[in-house]
Amino acid sequence: MKILVTGGAGYIGSHTVIELQAAGHDVVVVDNLVNSSEIALKRVEKITGKEIPFYKVDIRDRESIDRVVHQFKFGCCIHFAGLKAVGESVFLPWEYYNNNITGTLVLLDVLKKNSCKNIIFSSSATVYGNPAVVPITEECPKGECTNPYGQTKSMLEQVMMDMQKADVVSSDPNPWNIVLLRYFNPIGAHKSGTIGENPNGVPNNLMPYITQVAVGKLERLGIFGCDYDTPDGTGVRDYIHVVDLARGHVKSLKAIEEKCGVEIFNLGTGVGYSVLDVVKAFEEENGVKVPYVIKERRAGDIAECYSDPSKAYEKLGWKAEYGIVEMCRDSWKWQKNNPNGFEE
Ligand code: NAD
Ligand code: UDP
């Protein structure tokens, strides 16, 4: 299939391009590089041995995005482009709503006008808020999002569901097919160690913080709280290897091909690890120390969040293959080989 990948130079997008090409799909990437580097795509080309048509385009730029969509006649769009830093979104709400909401609205309109009404969207487990029960199934009601980033994901899910519903109500002969993928906590990197997550400034997320401590760029990890109602008191999350996550997108094309209407899938492993579990696994697998200090709880954090990923297995035949050991190994390989990210 010919696939438009928005945000394809980013962390999850670049890994997904590899898996799409490996499965025989034709990929075109658009990205404005606000949080990524074209070098990532060059490295992907080296891994796959295939060229990636790339357009440096902001998805809010209707004319430019229309030109690309019109030219290629895509079968599906996989939509990663967006701003994603939870903390930053609290201080820059307008920028987050403008980029994520306006960008997606323009993209959806352009896709529709060009008769490509198939989209796979990067959503997040954050839409569940503080879940009443774990593991979280797709039936769990959405919760309260405590930050503008989470709001954009929740709102965009709603926008897309409403658009699909309108097509059904009006018996549109070419209705939208929409797959909403709720990611849990992606970590890890491609096994080559040549691409990976490359946060700007001091990382907010656990694994990039750990790898930067391990490589000596940061002194010690701060663990946000040790008094949660969890086995060791630290927060529990469902970490998923980014390559498994990428493959989840390839498998989701099956739902699109089967004209799914709207489908929602959790992409996680179903296993929860605490912060201390991750630190220990990282130290053991990689033979490096990760000094840490216990700090106050971080505002907005919840105790436990892990998925029931069985729907994706039943409907798409997808399940995560890698465990915490591979996640720690590959995150470290990327960081060790590229202490300054994509700076060459
Ligand atoms: P990323 O920042 O590495 O990738 C996003 C890409 O989108 C970047 O390359 C950026 O330059 C591009 N982009 C942003 N705004 C754009 C615009 N207006 N026009 C064109 N390109 C634009 O982030 P990621 O971790 O790869 O995340 C990909 C998607 O998955 C995002 O939508 C994110 O919100 C979502 N998501 C990520 C996580 C996570 O933990 N990484 C979890 C849940 C959901
Ligand atoms: N965490 C931590 N120290 C850090 C970053 C994160 O203790 O420097 C904890 C955080 O409190 C949570 C878990 O690690 O329990 C995962 O946090 P992350 O920000 O990676 O993902 P989230 O689940 O919050 O989206």
Name the residue with the closest Cα to ligand 1, atom 35. Answer: 122
- Ligand 1 closest atom vs CA 103: 18
Q: Which of 149, 209, 239, 322 is catalytic?
A: 149
* Cα–Cα distance measured from residue 4 to residue 88, given in angstroms and rounded to the nearest whole number: 28
Closest to 53 in 3D by CA, of 2, 89, 128, 95: 2
pLDDT reading at 115 higher than 90: yes
Q: What's the average model confidence in pLDDT over 281-309?
A: 96
Q: Provide residues with CB under 6 Å of ligand 2.
A: 185, 204-206, 209, 221-224, 235, 237, 275, 298, 301
Name the residue with the closest Cα to ligand 2, atom 21. Answer: 205
Torsion angle, alpha carbons of 136, 154, 36, 248, to 10: 40
The average confidence (pLDDT) of the chain is 97
What proportion of the chain, given as a percentage, has pLDDT over 90?
97
Q: What's the average model confidence in pLDDT over 67-94?
A: 97
Residue in the block written with tokens 């949660």: 228
Whole-model pTM: value is: 0.98
pLDDT digits (tens, 9 = 90+) for 127-166: 999 998 999 999 999 999 889 999 999 999 999 999 999 9
Q: Ligand 1 pocket test: pick from 28, 34, 64, 205 the residue with the most ligand atoms within 8 Å of its Cβ.
A: 34
**Ligand 2 center–CA 199 separation, angstroms:** 14
- The yes-or-no answer on residue 149 being catalytic is yes
Residue in the block written with tokens 């080309």: 45
Q: What's the average model confidence in pLDDT over 196-221?
A: 96
Apex 192 CA angle, 188 and 197, nearest 5 = 35
* Residue 201 CB contacts under 8 Å (≥ 6 apart), including other chains: none
Q: Provide residues with CB under 6 Å of ligand 1.
A: 7, 9-13, 31-36, 58-60, 80-84, 99, 103, 122, 124, 183, 186
| 3-class DSSP assignment, residue 124 | strand
Name the residue with the closest Cα to ligand 2, atom 12. Answer: 235
Which ligand is the nearest neighbour of the Cα of 127?
1
pLDDT digits (tens, 9 = 90+) for 243-264: 999 999 999 999 999 999 999 9
